[in-house]
Amino acid sequence: MKKEKVDRRVQYTKMILRQSLIELLEKNPISKITIKSICEKADINRTTFYAHYTDQYDLLAQIKQELFDDVSVYLTNFTFHENESESVQLLNKIFEYIKQNSKICSVLLNDTTDTAFHEQVMVIVQKLCMEQLTKKSFNQNIINYIISFAATGSMGLIRKWLDTGMKEPTYTMAEIILKLTNQGLTAFV
């Protein structure tokens, strides 16, 4: 399907509005950011803003969606090493992506689970569960609780890693998540 060419003015407008919101979010919560302030920073007319977005929350949602798409592409274009767990490689890629894009990730991973990473980690954890919980018949609700625990926990861990300067190697972090998901504290005893 032929990709429709987007007018260069539209590309610029969206790029500069997104960049402006990201920069404002570094210092303020979304609730304190006005459309007026975004447009002033971007040097874009307010009517132009309304031509593309409903409000600042819509703009933020579209930034997140763009990130989601970018992460999906990033993880899809990937060749696994045969001699390693696929999960640990995928988690490693996620941490690598976050490290490469730490500025925008710091802003977007704000006490929220509706991010691209949460969904990707959900998929990984679900796969692990399916691999390990096949011998017993479990209540689907319990499985969902387990998945929620591991996926949300991973986001909390990722948040912490971001907030404390990302000192540890990405592969180490991927291993920690896998260990905690599979064996909890006993993996570290």
Partner DNA sequence: ACAAAAAATCAACACGCTGTTTAGTAACAA
Partner DNA sequence: TTGTTACTAAACAGCGTGTTGATTTTTTGT
The residues of the shown chain that bind a second copy, judged by CB under 8 A, are 30-31, 57, 111-114, 128-129, 132-133, 135-136, 138, 141-142, 144-146, 148-157, 159-161, 164, 167-168, 173, 176-177, 179-189
Q: What is the nearest approach in angstroms of DNA to the Cβ of residue 128?
A: 44
Binding partner of 186, given a second copy, DNA, none, CB within 5-8 angstroms per partner class: a second copy
Instruction: Please report whether residue 51 would count as binding DNA according to CB under 7 A.
Output: yes
CA angle 44, 46, 47 (to 5 degrees): 110
The two three-digit tokens of residue 148, written as one number: 């929620």
Give the number of other Cβ atoms within 10 Å of residue 61's Cβ.
14
Instruction: Please report whether residue 55 would count as binding DNA according to CB under 7 A.
Output: yes
Instruction: Please report whether residue 27 would count as binding DNA according to CB under 7 A.
Output: no
Q: Which of 95, 96, 98, 114 minimizes the C-alpha distance to 106?
A: 98
- Figure out which of the listed residues 1, 2, 7, 83 binds DNA, where binding follows CB under 7 A: 7
Instruction: Please report whether residue 47 would count as binding DNA according to CB under 7 A.
Output: yes
Q: What is the nearest approach in angstroms of DNA to the Cβ of residue 72?
A: 26
DSSP per position, 159-176: HHHHHTT--S-HHHHHHH
Q: Which of 75, 63, 76 minimizes the C-alpha distance to 24?
A: 63
Q: Which of 150, 157, 158, 163 minimizes the C-alpha distance to 96?
A: 158
The two three-digit tokens of residue 53, written as one number: 């977005």
Nearest residue (CB) to DNA, 43 versus 114: 43
Q: What is the nearest approach in angstroms of a second copy to the Cβ of residue 113?
A: 6
Name every residue whose Cβ is closer than 8 Å to that of residue 130 and which is 6 or more positions away in sequence.
none
The two three-digit tokens of residue 133, written as one number: 């919980």
- Figure out which of the listed residues 26, 28, 34, 163 binds DNA, where binding follows CB under 7 A: 34
Q: Residues in the site for DNA, rule: CB under 7 A?
A: 5, 7-10, 12-13, 34-37, 43-48, 50-52, 55-56
